[in-house]
Amino acid sequence: MSRYKNAKKRKSVSVYKKLIRILQVMVVVLVLLCALQTRRISKLEQELQEAYLQLDWMEYKQAKWQETAETDFRQEESDSAVGEKEEAGVPGSGQEEPEKEEYSPEEKEESPEEEAHDPEQDGTLRKVYLTFDDGPSRNTNEILDILEQYGVKATFFLIGKEGEEAESAMRRIVEEGHTIGMHSYSHDYEQIYASEDAFAEDFMKMREYIYDVTGVNCVYFRFPGGSSNQVSKTDIYQLIDWVHDQGVEYYDWNISSKDSSPTEYSAEQIAENCLADLERYNKAVVLLHDTNSKGTTVEALPAIIEEIQAMENTVILPITEYTVPIQHRTKEMED
């Protein structure tokens, strides 16, 4: 009887063991599935975030174009009103502008073709924007030489460096077709972010300085520390509104070379930091620095460019007004 009981007990123990093993396997499978799903969700969230930013930007651009079109339309209407008055013998401004009406049809046909060739408008291409902060420096000319050698245009977010050497570097940046952006005059975070007035004063000083030296009315800006900086004592959204009111757009980054990190990375590591995640993005704004102490960045640059140029369907472009910006903080994130 007891043997029968023991056998029964053993049998039920082995059934329990099996059940536990099945449960264990199920738990492991569930955990793995959860991890996979979490990864998928975070990837989708990132894509959604990018899509939202793109949508905001397109809406903003559309509104701007509409505004311009309306202004042009009003201008044309008032021009034709003047024309009609003149035809009726009413003295107008005295300035005849018949040529304005005579659009060349060839000119009109060419523009959509041009757009089709514009890599910025080509959605099938991966676009990479190399951006250099904190220049000009003693390294600027070497950076420009390398860019020229590879036929690449980049963007320089400059700070208020004075003197003939800095000014001639600024002019060379413009002459060689790169984009100039503002990155504050003093680059002194405490001072710039102390108040909206302090920010505005520094911003205007840099804008005027760039205009005086290069003749460029700069419309691109990078917040010192990015729009996600933790230093600003002033509400960053207030500053963003102010920047937009100046007709200026701000550009953060989604890839950092980490060349300004306290860890001193080698040239190889800087290149690796730029390239490791690049394929994940359709649009990559790469943060690099142009300062006297960043010789390793200059050293890393040829490898960075060569690797990007070897990637399929990928172009390196300067930031222009058609570039959809990468922004760490946008108005929609305010709350």
| Binding positions for Zn ion, rule: CB under 5 A | 133-134
Question: For residues 134 and 252, which CB has a smaller minimum distance to Zn ion in the complex?
Answer: 134
- Round to whole Å and give the CA distance between 276 and 274: 6
Token digits of residue 32: 């793995």
Question: For residues 294 and 314, which CB has a smaller minimum distance to Zn ion in the complex?
Answer: 294
Least Å from the CB of residue 188 to Zn ion = 11
Please, are residues 183 and 133 in contact by the beta-carbon 8 Å criterion?
yes
Question: For residues 251 and 314, which CB has a smaller minimum distance to Zn ion in the complex?
Answer: 251
- Round to whole Å and give the CA distance between 2 and 60: 84
Question: For residues 188 and 299, which CB has a smaller minimum distance to Zn ion in the complex?
Answer: 188
- Round to whole Å and give the CA distance between 218 and 212: 11
Question: For residues 144 and 221, which CB has a smaller minimum distance to Zn ion in the complex?
Answer: 221
Token digits of residue 295: 């010789």
- Round to whole Å and give the CA distance between 69 and 64: 9
Burial 271-292 (b: 16+ CB within 10 A, else e): bbbbbeebeebbbbbbbbbbbe
Least Å from the CB of residue 303 to Zn ion = 23
Question: For residues 298 and 314, which CB has a smaller minimum distance to Zn ion in the complex?
Answer: 298
Residue showing the smallest CB distance to Zn ion in the complex: 133
- Other C-beta atoms closer than 10 Å to the C-beta of 267 total 18
Least Å from the CB of residue 240 to Zn ion = 18
Count the residues in the chain.
Answer: 335
Question: For residues 189 and 237, which CB has a smaller minimum distance to Zn ion in the complex?
Answer: 189
Least Å from the CB of residue 95 to Zn ion = 48
Please, are residues 127 and 284 in contact by the beta-carbon 8 Å criterion?
yes
Please measure the distance between the N-terminal and C-terminal CA atoms of the chain and give it in whole angstroms: 74
- Of 119, 130, 117, the closest CA to residue 307 belongs to 130
Question: For residues 178 and 294, which CB has a smaller minimum distance to Zn ion in the complex?
Answer: 294
- Round to whole Å and give the CA distance between 191 and 302: 36
Least Å from the CB of residue 288 to Zn ion = 11
Least Å from the CB of residue 199 to Zn ion = 15
- Round to whole Å and give the CA distance between 310 and 161: 35
Question: For residues 133 and 252, which CB has a smaller minimum distance to Zn ion in the complex?
Answer: 133
Least Å from the CB of residue 147 to Zn ion = 20
- Other C-beta atoms closer than 10 Å to the C-beta of 137 total 22
| Cα Dmax for the chain | 128
- Round to whole Å and give the CA distance between 288 and 293: 13
Least Å from the CB of residue 183 to Zn ion = 5
Place of tokens 């005059």: 185
Least Å from the CB of residue 134 to Zn ion = 4
